[in-house]
Amino acid sequence: MARWQSFAIWKGRWPHWRAEGVTYHVGFKHRRELDESDRHDLFVAMLRAQGKKVDYLCLVVLPERTDALLRVVDDQELSDVVEKAKLKAGKAIIKRTGERFPPFGGESYDRIMRDEQELETVFLEIVDGPSRARAEAADDWPTLFVAPV
C-alpha cells in the first residue's frame, strides 16, 4: 500500500486518521448484548450505505460488538456514515424496547489498514467472529456480510 493522500487527524475520545483511498477497520462495542432483532436493525442500517457512501469488504454484527472493513466512497466522512447508521438503528431499538438510550456508544474505533497482511488478518478475524462468539459456522450467521470477490 502506498503513501496516503490527503492525510488528516482529528480527535474525539480517540484519535481518528483520515486519508483518501484507504481501507478502514471500524469497530464498536455494545453496551449490552444485542438480540437477533437488534442485530438485524443495526446490520440493515449499516448496509444501507453499501455502494453509495462506502464499499464494505466485510461487516459483522455480533451480540457484543460490531466490526467492518470498508472503503469510503468519494468525499464521504467515515464517522458520518457509521454514526448515522448507529443513530437510525438506535432509534428503532429504543422504540421497540422502551430503553432510554441506544445499546451502543457514540464514538467508534477506526484504524487505517497499513498493508495487505494486516488487512488479511483483520478480515479473517471479522469473518471468523460468529464462530468464535457462538461456535456457529460463519455461513449460518444472518448478520455477516462478505463482499463478492
Q: Please write the tens of the pLDDT for every residue from 32-43.
A: 999 999 999 999
Global pTM?
0.85
Whether the per-residue pLDDT at 46 is higher than 90: the answer is yes
Mean per-residue pLDDT of the chain = 86
Stronger pLDDT, 77 or 137, i.e. the higher one: 77
Neighbour-count burial of 146, counting CB atoms closer than 10 A to its CB (0-12 exposed, 13-18 middle, 19+ buried): middle
| 17-23 average pLDDT score | 79
pLDDT score at 139: 63
Superfamily name with CATH number, domain 8-146: Transposase IS200-like (3.30.70.1290)
The rounded distance, in Å, linking the Cα atoms of 100 and 91 is: 10
User: Where is pLDDT greater, at 105 or 98?
Assistant: 98
Cβ–Cβ < 8 Å for 65, 81? no
pLDDT score for 117: 96
**93 by DSSP, 3-state: which?**
helix
Distances (CA, A) of 126 to 57, 68, 89: 10, 7, 21
pLDDT band at 9 (very low <50, low <70, confident <90, very high): low
Q: What is the pLDDT of residue 130?
A: 85
- Residue range 49-56: mean pLDDT, rounded: 94
Question: What pLDDT score does 21 carry?
Answer: 84
Please indicate whether residue 38 or residue 137 has the higher confidence score (pLDDT).
Answer: 38
**Domain map (residue ranges) of the chain:** 8-146
pLDDT at 12 over 60: no
Ranking 62-66, 117-121, 130-134 by mean pLDDT, the lowest is 130-134
